Amino acid sequence: MNPKANRPLQSQRRPGPKSRGGQITLILILDAAFILLHLWGRVQIDFAVRANQKLSARCQRLQADVDDLSARNEKLRSYERISGLAKLMGLESVSSDRLEHLPVDLRGLDRPDPSAGSGVALAGMAFFGSRPNSQEPKGKRSGGANVR
């Protein structure tokens, strides 16, 4: 018998313990990398959830502030409050159903007198029935539209 015939062929050799250890090491390294990536993702998700909760709480606080400011705005803009202030200033009071028909003199509001206050205050006084100094035809607004 030929001694070479009993020997296995090169291509049929099984991997030795050295190459199995390399495979196990590679699998362990890949598992550790996968675990680290998974943990890092979980931490990032946790940070995003906490940030979302903080933003939601802030949004609720801001919405409550907006609601409070809207209620204050409505209270400050109420006809009863403004007409009471107008009476204290000596201005004529007009019923709320006739407010859109009042003539308003807006001349001089583009260049208000610094000592007289802001143009908004002047417009408010003109709005509550203070009569303009000029002689306009009755039934005409300063813009030229007819008053009912």
Model confidence pLDDT, tens digit, residues 13-43:
555 555 778 899 999 999 999 999 999 999 9
Least confident of 40-44, 45-49, 112-116: 112-116
Give ∠ CA 20-22-23 in degrees, rounded to 5. Answer: 65
3-state secondary structure the chain: CCCCCCCCCHHHCCCCHHHHHHHHHHHHHHHHHHHHHHHHHHHHHHHHHHHHHHHHHHHHHHHHHHHHHHHHHHHHCCHHHHHHHHHHCCCCCCCHHHHHHCCCCCCCCCCCCCCCCCHHHHHHHHHCCCCCCCCCCCCECCCCCECC
pLDDT of residue 18: 57
136, 103 Cβ separation under 8 angstroms: yes
Q: Compute CA 101 distance to the chain's CA centroid, rounded to the nearest angstrom.
A: 37
Which residues are registered as beta bridge partners of 140?
A: 146
Predicted local confidence at residue 148, as pLDDT: 42
Whether residue 112 contacts residue 76, with contact meaning beta carbons closer than 8 Å, is answered with no
147 or 97, greater pLDDT: 97
Is pTM beyond 0.85? Reply is no
Mean pLDDT of 101-113: 69
User: What's the pLDDT score for residue 51?
Assistant: 97
Mean pLDDT of 109-137: 54
- pLDDT, residue 73, reads 93
